[in-house]
Amino acid sequence: MKDPAEGRLSFTEMFDLPVAVDLRTAAKALGIGSTTAYRLIREGQFPCPIIRVGKRYRIPTIDLMRALGIEDRPLYSVDLELGPDCPGTGF
């Protein structure tokens, strides 16, 4: 039997995602297979909003992260060392 956590995106990989991801990437982040993801969409049970673009599905990364309980970008100690005047520090 396959370990459900195997093949999932790491925390760091989640923060490197573009603004929207394909269904396969979203399924991987959620720890489900693409077949299950398509079934959940058909049943209206996919855990976050989806956007249909032609025949493809796109999932906004912010909604995917919320579905996973990730609300904000992490703050790293290097950000604190750079201080609030440094662009991109997130605070």
24-40: average pLDDT = 94
Structure confidence at residue 69 as a pLDDT band (50, 70, 90): confident
Alpha-carbon span 76 to 89, nearest angstrom: 9
pLDDT of residue 86: 52
Written as six digits, the tokens of 58 are 């796109």
Model confidence at 83: pLDDT above 50 = yes
Domain segments of the chain: what residues?
11-82
The DSSP code for 68 is T
Nearest CA-CA partner of 61 in 24, 8, 21, 7: 21
Structure confidence at residue 84 as a pLDDT band (50, 70, 90): low
Beta-carbon contacts of residue 5 (< 8 Å; ≥ 6 apart): 31
Lowest mean pLDDT among 23-27, 30-34, 69-73, 81-85: 81-85
